[in-house]
Structure 1
Amino acid sequence: MAKEEAQGIRILARETLSEGHYRLEKVTYTQGGERQEREVYHNGTGAAVLPLDPTRGTVLLVRQLRIPALVNGDGPMLVEVCAGMVEEGDDPAATAEREAKEELGCRLRSLRRVFTLYPSPGSCAERLHLFTAEYRPEDRTGRGGGLAEEGERIEVLELPLAEAWAMVEAGGIMDGKTILLLQQARLGAA
């Protein structure tokens, strides 16, 4: 079966609307003989990781600027797990390890893939690979903060898992991937 046709859905046309930071495209397709159009935002494949120190019960998170949150009327600084885009030729695990070093200043132990998901499949083609890992105080080898040349100004947060979850319940953590990984850690599946 052709990539452009699956389960009775046939793509008729794809038009690039924008080549900004990411690509936005209009897809024209038929479903059950009916012609429809949707916009698809292509922001790539990402990887995210929640490091947990099981001895101390702490997790490492980041706080960083997220313009879409500001545009929606929320605070612009969101608390999240560290994450990044999977570069051409990399695998998601390598991306998670690289991002932990850049954003958290941390070396990971026992990296474990939890699952892969589409965070917002109604309009976004992004696919995320989610991981958990362990760390110890001696694995915090740098200050983190991200890459200045990429405009990153990231604050590193080390919190007890219980405090991080209390932030979720109070609305202080609103990022979906972060909530899912914190829940994994709370369930003892990390």
Structure 2
Amino acid sequence: MSSNETDLKPPFTRGAVDVISRKVAYDGFFKMHKLRLRHRLFRGGWSAEMDRELFVRGNAVGVLLYDPERETVALVEQFRVGALERDQGPWCLELVAGMVEEGESLEEVARRELQEEAGLEVAKLHFICSYLPSPGGSSERMHLFCAAVNLNGAGGHFGLADEHEDIRLRVIRLQTVLAALDDGSAVIDNAASIIALQWLQLHREKLHEGQ
């Protein structure tokens, strides 16, 4: 393989995957599908047929709140069942986030979740990136934004009781958060928060300038 390739596009598209069958394996709070498929091979021809389980998720939106004047960020803290065995315990510091419902734009989801999880309204959302958190077995796509906002007096407890949400909004100095990322302490150890905070490190001057 050449070490100076400039075209990052893969050689195949969706048409290079033959989904032979798809069955609903589980349909509860989450959904799981079982697929039988085959796909084209880099060396030519087709793979053998294989079974794969797919964790079916839609689009999600995450928002990092940043106060340029005070140089603070707001993160939510809540219980996460997937973090039960985490050394620090299953209460995680994360971005304000939520799933996209049918007919909603990404910005509409961001503003809805900011109201529900932080009690805040923002004038402008800065798009960060869109990525697949776990493409080896999940269909979820995450869309990240950053919002410059006045965090003076922000904080408190939020969430929808009928969705069993128990959310604490915490306002933290940016340097404290960045130091925690840098020292590898895993206080903040979810991809969306790390990506958004690293983006903020690169672009915060633009937010200070009001761009």
Question: Normalising by the residue count of structure 1, what TM-score does the alignment of the two structures yield?
Answer: 0.90
2:179 paired residue number? 166
Give the SS at the match of 1:165: helix
**Aligned pair in 2 of structure 1 residues 134, 33: CA closer, same or farther (>3 Å)?**
same
Greater C-alpha Rg: 2
Deviation at 1:138, TM superposition (A): 6.2
Matched-pair contact (CA < 8 Å) for 1:102–1:144: no
**Which residue number in structure 2 is paired with residue 177 of structure 1?**
192
Which residue of the other structure, out of 23, 31, 34, is the alignment partner of 1:15?
23
Q: For residues 93-124 of structure 1, what are the alpha-carbon distances to aligned partners after superposition, in whole Å with 9 as ceiling and x for unaligned? A: 11111111110111113211111111000001
Query: Which structure's residues are more often strand, by fraction?
Result: 1
* SS at 1:188 equivalent: helix
> Cα distance, 1:177 vs. partner?
0.2
Can you list the C-alpha shifts for 1:126-170, whole angstroms capped at 9, x where unaligned? 011110111014695x84511112110001110111111222232
**CA, structure 1 residues 74+26, in 2 after alignment: closer, same or farther (shift >3 Å)?**
farther
What is the letter of the counterpart of residue 17 of structure 1? A
Cα distance in 1 for residues equivalent to 2:172 and 2:16: 49
Say which of 57, 63, 67 aligns to 1:43: 57
The structure 2 residue matched to 1:148, chosen from 161, 164, 167, is 161
What TM-score does the superposition give when structure 2 sets the normalisation length? 0.81
Find the aligned partners of 1:162 and 1:138 in 2 and give their Cα distance: 17
Structure 2 counterpart SS, 1:108: coil
Residues in 1 aligned to 2:27 and 2:73: alpha-carbon distance in whole angstroms: 36
Q: CA RMSD in A?
A: 1.9
Q: Are the equivalent residues in 2 in contact too, given 1:53–1:59 (CA < 8 A)?
A: yes
Aligned partner of residue 34 in structure 1, secondary structure: coil
Inter-partner Cα distance in structure 2 for 1:94 and 1:144: 22
Number of residue pairs matched?
185
